């Protein structure tokens, strides 16, 4: 330490001990009544409820998607789909029922995506609110503080407000990324399920074993392609972003809670020399939290940029030639161009009365 910084340190120390004496001397004895509400600074209960809820919907979604590829393999075999009944009507009914099961799966999964997305959103919004609620506590320090305390509190408040703004921005980033990813998977699943229903209802599939086999193979292949493309890599990124963000938010909240409580305690119990240093050096006190935030930001940046690149890679232009189906294809999902027609073999196309007619016209 050189001479100059020694003097600065000494001066700082002098100023500080002066402030401490001021605080001790003036005291806050007359304010006891108004301090009651600060004896327990707490993260709002909604915060923990929101975590529990979004964890639960994440688990439900994971359960829903678990072993999808194996189940698909098992469900869509000719023997599973066709009962061995001699009765053609029964056979046909059973077949249609089995086919519907697959589209039902995609509808149900899409609603699991929707729940998870909306619960993530609520959790992130609640986190921002909770951070604000903690911040707001500082504003409620009873008036009539010695002016030196006021200055220090104002300074600390400004620093925390800045932290809150950054925190909210980063949370928004995570929220936007997650909800958009989930929404696009959800839309794709609904679209895919709708397409299956329309084929079943309007295209009039011939139900001879050869055609059943062709259509089953088609569904088997397309379903697994779409699932792998939309719900494996993308979804893992969403899970990662969720877990890491949640972990950081929890840590940050506890730290904020702890710091504000400590602040109140030191004002309340006047143990100024030991603990109230933090009031004096707000920047120092929040430095770890700021660096925590910076790390989270970096993590999100890396994860979500990769996410965007992946989404772009799968982005395909689509033309929807069949005017019988009135759905708009989504530009950013995993559907091949012109799905489903482009993906069907000539043999399979001949299995639909509807397409037969179109071809003949
Ligand atoms: C497979 O069949 C079971 C029972 O019939 C059904 O509950 C499930 O949703 C089906 N899964 C898929 C992926 O089709
Ligand atoms: C967050 O706070 C705003 C404003 O007070 C409120 O409108 C909103 O409902 C709150 N959000 C959650 C999820 O608690």
Reading the block at residue 188, the tokens are 């794709």
What are the tens digits of pLDDT across the range 276-301? 766 778 788 889 999 999 999 999 98
Nearest Cα residue to 137 out of 45, 44, 41: 41
Domain ranges in the chain are 3-360
Task: Encode pLDDT of 9-50 as tens digits.
Answer: 444 444 444 444 444 444 444 444 455 656 677 899 999 999
Record the tokens describing residue 44, joined without a space. 């709002």
Q: What is the pLDDT of residue 189?
A: 93
Give the separation between CA 311 and CA 332, rounded to whole angstroms.
Answer: 7
Does ligand 2 come within 6 angstroms of the Cβ of 168? no
For the ranges 4-8, 222-226, 355-359, the one whose mean pLDDT is highest: 222-226
The pLDDT of residue 327 is above 70: no
Closest ligand to Cα 49: 2
Quick one: which atom of ligand 2 is closest to the CA of 122?
13
The confidence band for 342, taking pLDDT boundaries of 50, 70 and 90, is confident
- Residue 336 pLDDT > 60: yes
Band (pLDDT 50/70/90 cuts) for residue 318 is: very low
Q: Which residues have a Cβ under 8 Å from the Cβ of 137 and sit 6 or more positions away?
A: 38, 41, 260, 264
**Whether the predicted pLDDT of 326 surpasses 80:** no
Q: Which ligand is nearest to the CA of 53?
A: 2
Cα of 45 from ligand 2 centre, angstroms? 14
The reply to whether ligand 2 has any atom less than 6 angstroms from the CB of 281 is no
Token match 């006047």: residue? 270
Give pLDDT, residue 39: 62
Question: Do the Cβ atoms of 146 and 23 come closer than 8 Å?
Answer: yes
Closest by Cα among 324, 255, 262, 329 to 292: 255
Q: Ligand 1: residues whose CB is within 6 Å?
A: 68, 71-72, 75, 101-102, 105
What pLDDT, on the 0 to 100 scale, is given for residue 356? 58
pLDDT, residue 275, reads 53
Nearest-angstrom CA–CA distance, 134 and 42: 8
Ligand 2: centre distance to CA 172 (Å): 14
The model's confidence at residue 179, banded by pLDDT at 50, 70 and 90, is very high
Atom of ligand 1 nearest to the CA of 68: 13
Contacts of 348 (CB under 8 A, 6+ apart): 211, 214, 215, 218
pLDDT at 41: 73
Backbone angles phi, psi at 352, to 5 degrees: -110, 125
Where does the pLDDT of residue 268 fall: very low under 50, low under 70, confident under 90, or very high at 90 and above? confident
């Amino acid at each position: 330490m050189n001479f100059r910084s020694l003097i600065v340190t000494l001066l700082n120390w002098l100023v500080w001990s002066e402030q401490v004496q001021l605080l001790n001397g003036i005291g806050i004895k007359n304010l006891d009544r108004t301090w009651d509400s600060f004896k327990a600074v707490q993260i709002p209960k909604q915060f923990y409820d929101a975590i529990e809820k979004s964890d639960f919907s994440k688990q439900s979604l994971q359960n829903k998607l678990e072993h999808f590829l194996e189940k698909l393999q098992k469900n869509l075999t000719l023997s599973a789909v066709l009962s061995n009944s001699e009765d053609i009507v029964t056979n046909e009914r059973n077949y249609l029922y089995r086919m519907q099961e697959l589209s039902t799966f995609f509808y149900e999964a899409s609603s699991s995506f929707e729940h998870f997305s909306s619960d993530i959103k609520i959790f992130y919004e609640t986190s921002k609110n909770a951070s604000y609620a903690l911040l707001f506590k500082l504003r409620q320090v009873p008036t009539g503080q010695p002016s030196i305390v006021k200055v220090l509190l104002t300074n600390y408040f400004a620093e925390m407000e800045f932290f809150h703004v950054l925190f909210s921005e980063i949370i928004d980033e995570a929220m936007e990324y997650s909800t958009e990813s989930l929404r696009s998977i959800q839309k794709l699943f609904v679209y895919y399920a709708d397409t299956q229903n329309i084929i079943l209802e309007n295209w009039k599939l011939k139900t001879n074993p050869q055609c059943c086999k062709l259509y089953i193979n088609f569904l088997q292949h397309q379903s697994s392609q779409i699932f792998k493309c939309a719900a494996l890599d993308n979804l893992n990124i969403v899970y990662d972003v969720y877990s890491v963000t949640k972990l950081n938010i929890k840590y940050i909240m506890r730290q904020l809670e702890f710091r504000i409580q400590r602040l109140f305690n030191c004002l309340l119990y006047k143990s100024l020399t030991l603990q109230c240093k933090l009031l004096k050096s707000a920047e120092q006190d929040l430095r770890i939290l700021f660096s925590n935030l910076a790390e989270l930001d970096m993590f999100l940046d890396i994860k979500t940029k990769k996410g965007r690149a992946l989404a772009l890679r799968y982005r395909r232009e689509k033309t929807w030639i069949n005017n019988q189906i009135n759905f708009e294809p989504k530009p950013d999902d995993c559907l091949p161009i012109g799905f489903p027609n482009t993906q069907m073999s000539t043999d399979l196309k001949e299995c639909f009365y509807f397409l037969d007619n179109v071809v003949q016209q």
